[in-house]
Structure 1
Amino acid sequence: MKYLIILLALITLSSCSGAKRITENMPIKDKQVDSVKTDEIIHQKTDTITLQKKKTEEEKKEDLEKIKSTKTFNHSTWNTLLQKHVSNKGHVNYKTFKSDRNELVNYITYLGKQTPQDSWAKEAKLAYWINAYNAMTIDLILRYYPVKSIKDIKKPWEQRFWKLGEKWYNLNEIEHQILRKMGEPRIHFAIVCASFSCPKLQNNAYTASSINKQLTNATKEFLNDPERNTISENTLGLSKIFQWFAKDFKQTGTLTDFLNQYSDITISDKAKKNFKDYNWDLNE
């Protein structure tokens, strides 16, 4: 009986010890599980923060693009002057324009206070420099008017009468160092050197929002004007603009390739070309 009691006591102690060990092990396992869950939560939060950061950077880029696309210049003063003194056919009434020269000078001064920045969209830069070139050309003529031709003025394209920002510009610099370097050949039908054989001066200012349509229309209008170009399938009598700036029109193909984008007549690749004499008489 004594031995039986001792045996029962030993069994009880052993059971309690096993239960204790199990109980002691349980928190450790739970801690390991909690640790894994914590790591997962930390990774999830880190991933979320990374995604939010990327999203923020993308949003910043999008905002910058929006700023670029909306940044523009108010050319309404120039537009009003063109409507008042330039006919639908592009003839300029320099006599009446001279009475509004102060308004023209004010517009050029305004151009000088807001020169294009790197953040401006290409369309806004094109509109700015095309309008600047044309306004300065008109101002150049008015300084010497009456004249029969821009060529009656000594070195007309080298005169530095106009300050934009901190720099004095001439027409040559705007055309060759700025506009032509923008890779847009249609500018040659938008900038006007006050001469009969030039493209006509449009009586609307160029704007960033409409520039592509305006350039296309000006190109088509000039190319299909029989007084400036004579076009048939196999024979071309072209303005010397296409000879002087041939490189600009061959950026993505041949000259014929360029012409066929805007011509009313499909021109053969084998068409014979000649270039017409240029009439420098004033465009009035």
Structure 2
Amino acid sequence: MKKIIVVTLILLGGFSAKAQNLDTFFKQADFFFKANVLNGKVAYDAIKKDRSTLDEVLKIAEGITVSKSDAKNYQAFWINAYNLSVIKGLVDNYPTKSPLDDKGFFDKIKHNLGGKSIVLNDIENKLLRAQFKDPRFHFVLVCGAVGCPPLIDEAYLPIALETQLQKQAKLAFNGDYFIKVNAKKKRVEGSKILEWYKEDFTMNGTTEIEYINTFRTEKIPTDYKITYFEYDWRINKQ
């Protein structure tokens, strides 16, 4: 009986430590974003001068393990880890004009996160998109460029994640930075993200316009044609 109690206490202690580490990560990430993001733009100059807070939260992220079955914690962790690692990559090479100026930024440079050594593309495509089939990830994963959806000034949190995902998708499709509706020409101009990841926005037999309309206040006629404007790869700095 004593052995069972001891093993149980050890297991509970392990779970508690993991929960505390994850909670600490979310709190530190939230603090960092609030201090360094304004209107979707990042204070790279200030972070470059003092990167201690960024390094600290990424150090916490190294030792965290979270299961895919714990979906909200998993998704929130990897979304924040991605966004923080993009900022780290740009700060490492700052001043820089674009993430594309740094060779292998998305597909070669590895980051130590969640017990893995992983590139940014694999976080997006293997850990998130492939596992959950949710196009809304495209509105919260921020690649460090002006053409990306704007970075928010808070962390994505498991308790609020569904609300946050919905909000960012609605902002994208009701504003004019992600799509532009031209009623005279019966056309929608969209971000290249819609073209690059077309399979995400046309799942289950829906068209891109039909998907967009699920978030639109003013619906777009389904006979409108869709084209794509050039992506703005300039760094999203303040």
Matched, 1:78 2:29: yes
TM-score (norm 2): 0.84
User: Pick from 215, 219, 230: which aligns with 1:277?
Assistant: 230
Match of 1:250 in 2: 202
Structure 2 distance, partners of 1:110, 1:180, is 24
Alignment of 1:1-284 (within 5 A): 73-74=22-23, 75-87=26-38, 89-120=39-70, 122-181=71-130, 182-232=132-182, 234-252=186-204, 253-284=206-237
Runs of 4+ in 1 over 6 A off after TM superposition: none
Structure 1 distance, partners of 2:48, 2:32, is 11
TM-score (norm 1): 0.71
Structure 1 distance, partners of 2:114, 2:224, is 47
Structure 2 distance, partners of 1:187, 1:143, is 25
Aligned 8 A contact 1:232 1:267 in 2? no
Aligned 8 A contact 2:65 2:115 in 1? no
TM-superposed CA distance for 1:98, in Å, is 2.0
Aligned 8 A contact 2:81 2:113 in 1? no
Aligned 8 A contact 2:63 2:115 in 1? no
Q: Aligned to 1:157, what secondary structure does the other structure show? A: coil
Aligned pair in 2 of structure 1 residues 186, 153: CA closer, same or farther (>3 Å)? same
Extract unaligned runs of 5+ from structure 1. Answer: 1-66
Match of 1:47 in 2: none
TM-superposed CA distance for 1:241, in Å, is 0.5
Structure number with higher helix proportion: 1
TM-superposed CA distance for 1:262, in Å, is 1.1
Q: Aligned to 1:247, what secondary structure does the other structure show? A: helix
Q: CA RMSD in A?
A: 1.8
Extract unaligned runs of 5+ from structure 2. Answer: 1-14
Match of 1:60 in 2: none
Higher relative contact order (CA 8 A, sep 6+): 2
TM-superposed CA distance for 1:125, in Å, is 1.2
Which has more radius of gyration? 1
Question: How many residues of Structure 1 are paired with residues of Structure 2 in the alignment?
Answer: 213
Structure 1 distance, partners of 2:73, 2:197, is 23
| Residues 146-200 of structure 1 deviation map (CA, whole Å, 9 limit, x = unaligned) | 0011111011102334213542111011011111112111000000011111100
Match of 2:5 in 1: none
Aligned 8 A contact 1:219 1:262 in 2? yes
